């Protein structure tokens, strides 16, 4: 049975994906997914070369395995970050999706949340309002914006919105927020392009 290893930059992303992955691929295939989160994006990137070499060894020993790496873009150039991830994968001996052929299927897929995980939450305003009903009257133009291009950071924008609505005056607990919103998210209505790209890639990984 094919297994999929998700490498994620933090616990809030893992929390959200443990809820979203079964919605995307179904409960049966979701059981083939394993999650590994790190203490931030740069910790993941630092450890990634060694980790991927370990996956290469396991695959060459016959394990049916794919890897999906998901990181936030933050303030980095998206193409530069994607190329960095692709280069690390190739140097570890893994076939990326962009390099795959009919004879050599891909072993690793790199995906970027633009610009952060919280953009996916803004992509589903109804889920956000279901989790935090008081925010609806404070959304202003956020409900109409492209969630992948909200200025000054989507995590900061979400925290400001929640505080304005009366939630989390002492700071936003990212894991709790991720869990509450992800529970209400519906796949087809999400307006975040990066979420839909991730959704497509996840489905392909488990074929």
* pLDDT, position 153: 87
Can you give the pTM of this predicted structure?
Answer: 0.95
Exposure string of 120-153, with b = 16+ CB inside 10 Å and e = fewer, is: bbbbbbebbbbbbeebeeebeebeebebbebeeb
* pLDDT, position 1: 83
pLDDT tens column, 163-195: 999 999 999 999 999 999 999 999 999 999 999
Residues 18, 41, single domain; the answer is yes
Peptide bond into 7 cis (omega under 30): no
| C-beta of residue 150 within 8 angstroms of C-beta of residue 121 | no
Residues 22, 102, single domain; the answer is yes
The ranges of the chain with pLDDT < 50 are none
Residues 168, 78, single domain; the answer is no
DSSP 8-state secondary structure symbol assigned to residue 103: S
- Crossing angle for the helix pair 174-182 and 154-164, nearest 10 degrees? 80
Rounded to a whole number of angstroms, the distance between the first and last alpha carbons of the chain is 11
Residues 101, 199, single domain; the answer is yes
Q: In terms of residue numbers, what domain contains 51?
A: 3-116+192-205
Residues 102, 185, single domain; the answer is no
| C-beta of residue 202 within 8 angstroms of C-beta of residue 97 | no
Total tally of structural domains belonging to the chain: 2
């Amino acid at each position: 049975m094919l297994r999929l290893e998700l490498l994620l930059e933090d616990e809030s992303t893992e929390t959200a994906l443990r809820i979203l992955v079964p919605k995307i691929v179904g409960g049966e295939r979701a059981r083939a997914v394993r999650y590994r989160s790190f203490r931030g994006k740069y910790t993941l990137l630092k450890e990634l070369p060694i980790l991927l070499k370990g996956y290469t060894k396991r695959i060459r020993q016959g394990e049916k395995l794919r890897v999906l790496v998901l990181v936030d873009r933050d303030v980095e150039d998206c193409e530069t970050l994607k190329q960095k991830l692709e280069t690390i994968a190739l140097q570890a001996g893994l076939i990326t999706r962009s390099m795959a052929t009919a004879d050599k299927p891909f072993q690793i897929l790199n995906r970027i949340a633009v610009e952060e995980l919280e953009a996916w939450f803004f992509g589903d305003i109804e889920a956000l309002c279901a989790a935090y009903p008081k925010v609806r009257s404070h959304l202003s133009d956020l409900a109409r914006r492209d969630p992948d291009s909200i200025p000054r950071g989507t995590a900061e924008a979400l925290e400001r919105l929640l505080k304005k609505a009366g939630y989390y005056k002492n700071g936003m607990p990212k894991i709790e927020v991720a869990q509450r919103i992800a529970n209400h998210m519906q796949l087809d209505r999400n307006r975040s392009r990066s979420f839909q790209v991730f959704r497509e890639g996840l489905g392909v990984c488990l074929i």
